[in-house]
Structure 1
C-alpha cells in the first residue's frame, strides 16, 4: 500500500493562504526549499486539486529556463514536470506535463491509487486534501509553520467529523523561525 502525505507551508494561525489566496508570507529559505525539493523527489505520484494545479502549472513548467533561477529551483521545475500527477477536476479538460485528469469520485480514486504498488504519494490543494483527510486516507501530515498570523484565509484542515490522533515523528527549525513538524496518523490496531 502506498503512503499518502499532505504537506504545506502554514501560518501560525493555521492557514495555507491568507485572504485572496495570498501566499507571500510563505517564501521559504534556501534550506527549507531544499527540504521540500527532497520530499518532492521522493514522491512517486502527486495528487492535485484544480486550484493548486492551476497555480503550479502556471509557474513551474518553464521556471528552469528563467535566467535568475537557482540550481534548486531548476531541479524543482524539472522534477515537477517529470513526476506523474493526477489532477482532480470536472472543470478543466487538458493538463500537460505528465498529468492525468480525473473527474469522478476523488475519494474512490485516491483509495484505489493507495492500494497500488508504487512510491509514496502526496496530496495538495485544500479541498482535495480536506476530502482525503475526512475519509481517513492521509498517512502523514507535514507542516512548515511560518511565524506569521494572517487572521483568515484557506485553512490547512477542514472541519472534521471526529478526532485524528497523530504521532510526532520529526521537528526541525529552519531560518526565519520556520518550524517543520511531521506527524504520522495513528492507526488503530
Structure 2
C-alpha cells in the first residue's frame, strides 16, 4: 500500500493561505526550498485540488525559462513537470505536464490509488486533503510552520468526526525560525 502525506506550509495560527489566497508570507529560504524540491523528486504521485493546481501550474511549467531563474528553481521546475500528478476537479477541463484529471468521487479514487503500486503520494489543497483526512486516508503530516500569524484564510486542518493519534517522526529547523514537524498517523 502506498503512503499518503499531507505536506504544506502553515502559519503558526494554522492557515495554508492568508485571506485573499495570499501566500506571500511563506517564501522559503534556499534550504527550505531545497527540502521541498527533494520532496518533489521523491514523490511517486502528487494529488492536487483545483486551486492548488491552478497556483502551481500557473508558474512551475515554465519557471526554469524565466530570466533570473536560480539553479534551484530550474531544478524544481523540471522535477515538478516530471512528477506524475492527478488533479481532482469537476470544473477543470484539461491538464498538462505529466498530469491526469479525476472528476469523480475523490475519496474512492484516493483509496484506489493508495492500494496500487508505486512510490509515496503527496496530497495538497485544503478541500481535497480535508476529504482524505475525514476518510482516514492520510498516513503522514509534514507541517512546515512559518513564524507568522495571518489571522484567517484557508485552514490546514479540517473539522473531524473523530480524533487522530499521531507519532512524531521528525523535527527540523530552517532559517528564519521555520520549523518542520512530521507526524505519522497511528493506526
Partner of 2:43: 43
1:150 corresponding residue in structure 2: 150
| In structure 1, distance between residues paired with 2:69 and 2:159 | 38
> For the residues of structure 1 that align with 2:143 and 2:55, how far apart are their CA atoms?
20
Which residue does the alignment assign to 2:8?
8
Structure 1 runs, 4 residues or longer, greater than 6 Å off: none
- Considering only aligned residues, what root-mean-square deviation do their CA atoms show, in Å? 0.6
Q: CA deviation at 1:67?
A: 2.0
**Counterpart check, 1:59 vs 2:59:** yes
Moved more, 66-75 or 135-144: 66-75
Q: 2:124 corresponds to which residue?
A: 124
TM-fit CA distance, 1:157: 0.6
Secondary structure, counterpart of 1:48 in structure 2: strand
What does residue 20 of structure 1 align with?
Answer: 20
Q: Which runs of 5+ in 1 are unaligned?
A: none
For residues 70-91 of structure 1, give each alpha carbon's deviation from its aligned partner in whole angstroms, at most 9, with x where no partner exists: 1111111011111111000110
Alignment partner of 1:158: what SS?
coil
Distance 1:38 1:147 in 2: 23
Q: What is aligned with 2:78?
A: 78
Confirm whether residue 174 of structure 1 aligns to residue 174 of structure 2: yes
Task: Name stretches of at least 5 consecutive residues in structure 2 with no aligned partner.
Answer: none
Distance in structure 2 (CA, Å) of the matches to 1:32 and 1:82: 21
Structure 2 residue matching 1:91: 3-state secondary structure: coil
Aligned to 2:110: 110
How many residue pairs were aligned? 187
